[in-house]
Amino acid sequence: MNTEPAAAAKPRHSTIYLLRDVIKIREEQGVAFHLRVPFLHINRGEKIALIGESGSGKSTLLDMLAFILQPSTADNFRFRHEDDQDPLDVNACWQADNLNILGDMRRRHIGYVMQTGGLLPYLSVYENINLSRSVLGLKQDGTVEHLAESLGIANQLKKQPDTLSTGERQRVAIGRALAHRPAIVIADEPTASLDPYAAENVMSLFIKLTEEFNSTVILASHAWRHVKELGLRRLAHKTTHSSNRKLTETVVSG
């Protein structure tokens, strides 16, 4: 009889996003942009990096993953925020105009860090960070204070955004995206407006907090070096232009 202990079962990674043959087409004044996603699979807890120059479709993909932008066509677009939940057919919601379902999913389960911060100027730093929690009716439990302390802005909570530096505003934006402890945090070039030293510092704080909050990270950036050092998985990303520059096509997969 074999008395050796059985090998521990490997943890099963659950799928959050599954996209297959998703396409977004933009056309304006005779110039077209096509974003094609032949296959994209993102597991819970992953840290994903989408690297590319401006105009290469990074923000377009992020907006589709955040249910802000409707794909032109999609063979399969599934989203599952909890392991014990059936996946949501995102494309079917778009086709049926079920925007309330998509909006609710976005509010509850996604945090979004925009490139420019997107803070509300008439709210204090505390109120900006607490905004997602307030919308969801979550009780004050010290999360805002903890985030502010971790991000080095605890002494700025009573101030208005226009009194802060660019780096401080971006830290507030990160705090706001994480305050409701979302399953997914999407960040669109969150350090693009910062100098290299500040960018590395803020990015490191951002990834550390997403790990603490057990959030999956999907990050767009044009700077691969310091993103790579933080252990993010890079998606395949290729952009081509037609000879007359009338068509730009980006293909993303991973």
**pLDDT tens-digit readout, 159-217:** 999 999 988 999 999 999 999 999 999 999 888 778 888 888 888 889 999 999 989 99
The second-level CATH assignment, the architecture, of 15-253 is 3-Layer(aba) Sandwich (3.40)
Lowest-pLDDT range of 45-54, 90-99, 186-195, 222-231: 222-231
Higher local confidence (pLDDT), 203 or 147: 147
The answer, as to whether pTM is greater than 0.75, is yes
Q: Do strands 236-241 and 233-234 pair parallel, antiparallel, or not at all (unpaired)?
A: unpaired
Instruction: Give Cα separations from 52 to 21, 174, 251 (angstroms).
Output: 20, 21, 11
Share of the chain above pLDDT 90, in %: 65
Provide the pLDDT for residue 191: 82
| Greatest alpha-carbon span in the chain | 76
Overall residue count recorded for the chain in this entry: 254
**Burial grade of 26 (CB within 10 A; 0-12, 13-18, 19 or more):** middle
Instruction: Give Cα separations from 244 to 8, 32, 56, 237, 247 (angstroms).
Output: 58, 11, 17, 22, 8
With contact defined as beta carbons under 8 Å apart, do 85 and 14 qualify?
A: no
Q: Do strands 31-43 and 88-89 pair parallel, antiparallel, or not at all (unpaired)?
A: unpaired
Judge whether residue 4 has pLDDT over 50. Answer: no
What sign results for the dihedral spanned by CA atoms 170, 203, 233, 236? positive
Give the whole-angstrom CA distance, residue 214 versus residue 132: 17
**What are the pLDDT digits (tens) for 6-63?**
444 444 568 999 999 999 999 988 889 999 999 999 999 999 999 887 778 899 999 9
